[in-house]
């Protein structure tokens, strides 16, 4: 555990709140201390109210802020005296507590204060830090957890038994701290939860946190429970992409909405899922209740699913029985699936959710392995996990969460995605909440977007093996495929039939027709498993209904592709896959239409460039975005009962009409 504090990083003029921001970010940078919005920090500052009266204000991390990126505006200012008075009440419901916190802030626009604000308030120190440090949680989640904590810290920390976060925990901590704290106290350990440190300066409080966590790490090292050996056989199992797609389909069916499934088959994951005691350690629950909240509560982080085709169904059935007994609605879908061949699969409504689940469970696997080596892993009882998962405050957050975007939990694949209509389709699908796989011959596709819901793959669509590889990667990364946008194509220079070379004809057919046949064929089993049914959109051309001279190869290839799509619509309707075509024309914001080419074509027709762009019945310009938006809508609810359709996107063309 390294102390990263460096006073040279802060300007000389920084104030106490600025120092709070700085050390909070240091904590947030270390994922062994906090993960994805976990943990919280505070500082007590003097201020004046509207009447010019002195009052103390607790600046505590606000809900929704991540310590790694927190700013001064991320701290909620709450009147300290009111918080101290609240701590003296015999009882206070959590919703009532939050109301008291929000109505006693000094800035109406501030975020909602942490539910542990009262706990921060009752600690008699200027700065307070709270983390869910892996090393500390490892010790507290071992069989002899409390004894281990007391051996590590002696009287330098106050030890508090587990109580769910909120008013009851704050009140218990106040009582226990008043009874047990002394001049040597520099921290507080909440069993099965985390650790607090405090001090009169930001540097002191942060330094104490690093020191306390470092002591726990040293203890694990002395007990030979730090360096965990990996299983001899930790190579990834041979898994077909369709196996993952089937798993995703069944989880989505249980969840009641589409989810993404991301496979992780690194050495750590494979070693964990092949443990002999996996069925025992993985079914106990998360390392800390905070992990339940951070993964947005599809319950029971991590249980063994040795044969996922049958075992997790048994879990679902048991969970539904539990729901009936408690007369409570439960989500039965897992957030983590463990399998000796698959490795660890993280489940989420979005790619970001799945990434959070994966990172948290990676830490959980390490905690479980070390706690087991320490004498045995022991998580909180199921009732405590249930209480956190269905905590009224967390349920209220869900209700306020709003409606998810239309394609949340779904996966789209777009060909020719690096520019033009293809890139616009990527943007339209991402904007609607889909995870998108974009493929293109241009290597720049790999860096088109750096975000968890986009996978860019350089690919030659005319190479069958590369297309199969892309589908496998889509399954590994997101769990399957729901939507396919066939956009990639080539438009050769104008050439009359009497001069058309056979190889030029075949090259156009290979890219514009054959490649799409192969991709449709290989994608069909994945689309068939799409939770809401598969969707295919073919980007055709005005040349299908109205070909022009000098474009025989292009027109014929697009016409053949159009006919292929019509046949597929007939054949695949029974598989709940719908296929529709768009026929754009004169889309000039693409790579082939340079300024020089546009000017040349406009002169040819005796028009200005602007007039040439709008040379259609509606006298409007058609852009890549126009085509892409309609392509995305064809994958949505408005076209749910339409298949085999052909829709022009051309501003109106007299030859087409």
CA 125, 129, 132, 138 torsion-angle sign: negative
Among the listed residues 460, 434, 436, the one whose alpha carbon sits nearest the alpha carbon of residue 449: 436
**Integer Cα distance of 230 and 271 in angstroms:** 5
Non-local CB neighbours of 11 within 8 Å, separated by 6+ positions: none
Q: Are 413 and 470 in contact (CB under 8 A)?
A: yes
Q: Are 170 and 87 in contact (CB under 8 A)?
A: yes
Average pLDDT on 543-558 reads 93
Distance, CA of 583 to chain centre = 35
**Integer Cα distance of 215 and 410 in angstroms:** 45
Average pLDDT on 578-591 reads 93
Phi/psi at 158 (nearest 5 deg)?
-95, 130
Per-residue confidence band for 386, with pLDDT thresholds at 50, 70 and 90:
low
Annotation marks residue 554 as catalytic: yes
Among the listed residues 234, 291, 288, 301, the one whose alpha carbon sits nearest the alpha carbon of residue 264: 234
Question: Is 290 a domain residue?
Answer: yes
Q: Which of 127, 153, 554, 612 is catalytic?
A: 554
What strands, in cross-sheet order, belong to the sheet with 454-458? Answer: 454-458, 435-440, 411-415, 483-486, 534-539, 577-584, 646-649
Q: Are 302 and 146 in contact (CB under 8 A)?
A: no
pLDDT at 199 over 80: yes
Of 368, 400, 432, the domain-final residue: 400
Per-residue confidence band for 254, with pLDDT thresholds at 50, 70 and 90:
confident
Phi/psi at 136 (nearest 5 deg)?
-70, -45
More confident of the two residues 307 and 318:
318
**Integer Cα distance of 609 and 590 in angstroms:** 15
**Integer Cα distance of 164 and 119 in angstroms:** 12
**Integer Cα distance of 558 and 190 in angstroms:** 66
**Integer Cα distance of 165 and 232 in angstroms:** 40
Question: What DSSP character marks residue 607?
Answer: -
Question: Is 236 a domain residue?
Answer: no
Q: 24 with 69, same domain?
A: yes
pLDDT at 389 over 70: no
Q: Are 526 and 475 in contact (CB under 8 A)?
A: yes
**pLDDT score of 601:** 79
Classify 498 as helix, strand or coil. Answer: helix
Taking residue 460's Cβ as centre, other Cβ atoms within 10 Å add up to 15
**Integer Cα distance of 18 and 14 in angstroms:** 6
Question: Is 232 a domain residue?
Answer: no
Q: Are 303 and 384 in contact (CB under 8 A)?
A: no
Output the CA angle 472-477-482, nearest 5 degrees.
75
Q: 533 with 425, same domain?
A: yes
Q: 390 with 428, same domain?
A: no
CATH of the domain at 333: 3.40.225
Q: Which of 112-121, 226-235, 622-631 has the highest mean pLDDT?
A: 622-631
Which tokens is 286 given? 């998360």
Q: 23 with 106, same domain?
A: yes
Q: 160 with 22, same domain?
A: yes
Classify 61 as helix, strand or coil. Answer: strand
CATH of the domain at 627: 3.40.50.720
pLDDT at 631 over 90: yes
How far the first Cα of the chain sits from its last, in Å, is: 72
**Integer Cα distance of 166 and 170 in angstroms:** 6
What are 196's strand-pairing partners?
130, 188
Distance, CA of 257 to chain centre = 16
**pLDDT score of 295:** 43
Q: 128 with 257, same domain?
A: no
Per-residue confidence band for 7, with pLDDT thresholds at 50, 70 and 90:
confident
Question: Is 656 a domain residue?
Answer: no
Q: Are 28 and 34 in contact (CB under 8 A)?
A: yes
Q: Are 540 and 562 in contact (CB under 8 A)?
A: yes
> Domain range holding 609?
592-621
**pLDDT score of 605:** 85
Question: Is 406 a domain residue?
Answer: no
Q: Where are the alpha helices (DSSP H) in 104-201?
A: 117-122, 134-140, 145-153, 167-180
Per-residue confidence band for 385, with pLDDT thresholds at 50, 70 and 90:
low
Question: Is 2 a domain residue?
Answer: no
pLDDT at 539 over 60: yes
pLDDT at 593 over 90: no
Q: 451 with 387, same domain?
A: no
**pLDDT score of 38:** 83
Phi/psi at 468 (nearest 5 deg)?
-65, -40
Question: How many alpha carbons fall within 13 Å on the CB side of residue 283?
Answer: 11
Question: Is 272 a domain residue?
Answer: yes
pLDDT at 380 over 80: no
% of the chain beyond a pLDDT of 70: 89
Q: 258 with 342, same domain?
A: yes
Q: 19 with 153, same domain?
A: yes
Among the listed residues 528, 473, 533, the one whose alpha carbon sits nearest the alpha carbon of residue 240: 473
Question: Is 535 a domain residue?
Answer: yes
**pLDDT score of 382:** 61
Least confident of 158-162, 191-195, 492-496, 548-552: 492-496
Give, in order, the Cα–Cα distances in Å from 60 to each of 22, 50, 87, 102, 121.
Answer: 14, 21, 16, 12, 9
Give, in order, the Cα–Cα distances in Å from 115 to each of 109, 132, 158, 182, 322.
Answer: 17, 15, 20, 26, 28
pLDDT in tens, 478-487: 999 999 999 9
Among the listed residues 131, 143, 281, the one whose alpha carbon sits nearest the alpha carbon of residue 193: 131
Non-local CB neighbours of 516 within 8 Å, separated by 6+ positions: 461, 486, 538, 561, 564
Average pLDDT on 141-149 reads 94
**Integer Cα distance of 507 and 567 in angstroms:** 23
More confident of the two residues 392 and 539:
539
pLDDT at 396 over 60: no
**pLDDT score of 336:** 86
Of 400, 419, 439, the domain-final residue: 400
**Angle between the 94-103 and 392-400 helix axes, to the nearest 10 degrees?**
60
Q: 637 with 569, same domain?
A: yes
Among the listed residues 126, 85, 91, the one whose alpha carbon sits nearest the alpha carbon of residue 104: 85
Q: 557 with 452, same domain?
A: yes
Q: Are 191 and 380 in contact (CB under 8 A)?
A: no
Average pLDDT on 417-431 reads 97
The domain tally of the chain equals: 4
Gyration radius from the chain CA atoms? 30
Phi/psi at 7 (nearest 5 deg)?
-60, -20
Non-local CB neighbours of 234 within 8 Å, separated by 6+ positions: 267, 270, 271, 274
Which tokens is 51 given? 């009447």
Non-local CB neighbours of 325 within 8 Å, separated by 6+ positions: none
pLDDT, the chain, mean: 88
* DSSP string of 287-336, one letter each residue: SSHHHHHHTT--S-S--B-TTTTTHHHHHHHHHHHHHHHHT-------SE
Average pLDDT on 373-390 reads 70
Output the CA angle 222-228-231, nearest 5 degrees.
150
Q: Are 125 and 205 in contact (CB under 8 A)?
A: yes
Average pLDDT on 345-364 reads 90
Q: 286 with 217, same domain?
A: no
């Amino acid at each position: 555990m390294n102390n990263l504090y460096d006073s040279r990083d802060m300007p000389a003029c920084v104030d106490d709140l600025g120092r709070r921001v700085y050390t909070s970010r240091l904590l947030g940078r270390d994922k062994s201390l906090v993960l994805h919005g976990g943990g919280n920090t505070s500082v007590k500052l003097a201020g004046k109210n509207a009447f010019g009266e002195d009052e103390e204000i607790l600046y505590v991390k606000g809900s929704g802020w991540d310590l790694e990126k927190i700013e001064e505006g991320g701290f909620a200012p709450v009147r300290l005296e009111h918080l101290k008075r609240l701590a003296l009440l015999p009882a206070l419901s959590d919703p009532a507590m939050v109301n008291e916190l929000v109505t006693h802030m000094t800035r109406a626009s501030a975020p909602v204060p942490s539910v542990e604000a009262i706990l921060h308030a009752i600690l008699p120190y200027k700065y307070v830090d709270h983390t869910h440090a892996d090393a500390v949680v490892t010790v507290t989640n071992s069989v002899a957890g409390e004894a281990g904590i007391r051996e590590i810290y002696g009287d330098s920390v106050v030890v508090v038994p587990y109580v769910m976060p909120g008013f009851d925990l704050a009140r218990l901590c106040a009582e226990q701290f008043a009874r047990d704290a002394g001049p040597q106290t520099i921290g507080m350990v909440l069993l099965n939860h985390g650790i607090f440190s405090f001090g009169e300066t930001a540097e002191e409080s942060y330094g104490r946190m690093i020191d306390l966590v470092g002591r726990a790490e040293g203890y694990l090292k002395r007990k030979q429970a730090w360096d965990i050996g990996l299983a001899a056989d930790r190579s990834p199992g041979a898994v077909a992409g369709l196996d993952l797609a089937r798993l995703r389909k069944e989880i989505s069916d249980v969840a009641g909405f589409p989810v993404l499934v991301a496979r992780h088959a690194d050495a750590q994951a494979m070693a964990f899922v092949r443990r002999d005691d996996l069925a025992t350690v993985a079914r106990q629950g998360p390392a800390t209740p905070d992990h339940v909240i951070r993964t947005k509560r599809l319950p029971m982080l991590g249980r063994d699913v040795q044969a996922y085709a049958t075992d997790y169904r048994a879990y679902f059935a048991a969970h539904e029985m539990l729901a009936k007994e408690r007369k409570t609605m439960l989500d039965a879908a897992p957030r983590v699936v463990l399998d000796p061949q698959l490795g660890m699969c993280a489940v989420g409504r979005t790619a970001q959710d799945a990434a959070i689940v994966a990172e948290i469970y990676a830490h959980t696997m390490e905690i479980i392995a070390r706690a087991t080596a320490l004498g045995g892993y022991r998580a909180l009882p199921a009732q405590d996990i249930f209480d956190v998962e269905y905590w009224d405050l967390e349920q209220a957050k869900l209700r306020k969460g709003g409606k998810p975007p239309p394609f949340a939990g779904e996966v789209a694949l777009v060909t020719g995605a690096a520019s033009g209509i293809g890139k616009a389709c990527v943007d339209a699908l991402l904007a609607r909440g889909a995870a998108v796989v974009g493929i293109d011959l241009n290597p720049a596709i790999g860096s088109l977007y750096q975000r968890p819901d986009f996978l860019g793959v350089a690919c030659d669509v005319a190479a069958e093996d590369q297309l199969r590889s892309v589908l496998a990667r889509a399954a590994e990364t997101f769990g399957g495929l729901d939507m396919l946008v066939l956009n990639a194509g080539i438009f050769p220079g104008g050439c009359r039939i009497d001069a058309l070379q056979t190889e030029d004809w075949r090259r156009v057919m290979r890219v514009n027709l054959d490649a799409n046949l192969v991709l449709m064929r290989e994608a069909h089993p994945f689309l068939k498993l799409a939770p809401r049914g598969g969707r295919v959109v073919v980007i055709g051309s005005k040349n299908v209904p109205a070909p022009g001279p000098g474009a025989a190869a292009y027109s014929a290839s697009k016409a053949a592709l159009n006919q292929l799509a019509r046949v597929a619509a007939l054949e695949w309707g029974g598989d709940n896959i719908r296929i529709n075509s768009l026929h754009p024309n004169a889309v000039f914001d693409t790579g082939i239409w340079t300024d020089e080419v546009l000017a040349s074509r406009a002169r040819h027709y005796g028009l200005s460039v602007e007039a040439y762009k709008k040379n259609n019945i509606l006298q409007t310009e058609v852009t890549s975005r126009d085509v892409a938006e309609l392509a995305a809508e064809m994958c949505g609810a408005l076209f749910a009962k339409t298949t085999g359709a052909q829709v022009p996107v051309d501003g109106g063309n007299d030859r087409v009409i």
